[in-house]
Amino acid sequence: MDIPTWITALRADGELLADAATSTSLDALVPGCPGWQARDLVGHVGRVHRWARTMVADRVTEDGFGKLTAIMEGIETPGDDKLVDWFRTGHHDLVDTLEAAPADLECFTFMPAPNPLTFWARRQAHETAVHRVDAEQAANRPSPVESGFAADGIDELLTGFLMRSRKPRAAEPRTVLVSSDGRHWLVRFGPDAGATEVPEPEPADTTISGPASTMYLALWNRVPWDGLTVSGADGLPELWAEMFRVR
């Protein structure tokens, strides 16, 4: 995928998120984020969008997590009557900022990427997509995730997020092969934790396979693993759910 494709997805999913939020009560529970109501979800994504926009627009090169804390805690979200419009404003500003950003942008990132603009376009596209699903589940009006975009999100999750701060730990070393829509990733749990996309399936203790649109949401704990095929060692769904639980 490329930057324009990620930005297009970000634009579409932000609009869908807002539409879902307006179609239901902001008191509605969000199944994928235990303890959250729809207003918490909208406020969270609205603050994240404003943080991301600040990183890109202001060319912030120091540790952006300090800025994240300030923005997430310092921005007071409006009341329910203005919340979705507030979200839409921040979302549109982020999209506009990413579209206008130069290819040689230099700013803070927190996962490997070819360049900062690629990082922020991709990360915000998937951040918004997963939370769009949350909003639609709260509103009971689900819509699908396109398979190519979902496969890209699986790659970001396994080779980026998983290795960044939630390295797969296990009492005993084990390997997991994730196969979806012709792409394959080998994940190693234990002391030599890591995840790599591989050209062909490789032997592993556990194999998970299924369509990318389902795999993407299952690995982010947004849908059950019922739509996937899991073979080999037991206990992986429970271990995975614990590592990627929203807290």
* Helix-helix angle 38-57:3-22, to 10 degrees: 150
User: 132-167 pLDDT, tens per residue?
Assistant: 999 999 999 999 999 999 999 999 999 998 877 555
* Domain span(s) for CATH 3.30.1050.10 in the chain: 149-243
Considering the domain delimited by 3-139, tell me its CATH architecture: Up-down Bundle (1.20)
Q: What was the pLDDT predicted at 247? A: 47
Nearest to 95 by CA among 12, 2, 1: 12
SS (H, E, C) 112-179: CCCCHHHHHHHHHHHHHHHHHHHHHHHHCCCCCCCHHHHHHHHHHHHHHHHHHCCCCCCCCCEEEEEE
Q: In this model, does residue 88 exceed pLDDT 90?
A: yes
Q: What was the pLDDT predicted at 161? A: 84
Q: In this model, does residue 190 exceed pLDDT 50?
A: yes
What is the pLDDT averaged over residues 176-195?
Answer: 91
Q: How confident is the model at residue 33 (pLDDT cuts 50, 70, 90)?
A: very high
What is the pLDDT averaged over residues 160-185?
Answer: 81
Q: In this model, does residue 70 exceed pLDDT 90?
A: no
Superfamily of domain 149-243: SCP2 sterol-binding domain (3.30.1050.10)
Q: What was the pLDDT predicted at 171? A: 65
What is the pLDDT averaged over residues 79-102?
Answer: 98
* Domain span(s) for CATH 1.20.120.450 in the chain: 3-139
pLDDT, mean over the chain: 91
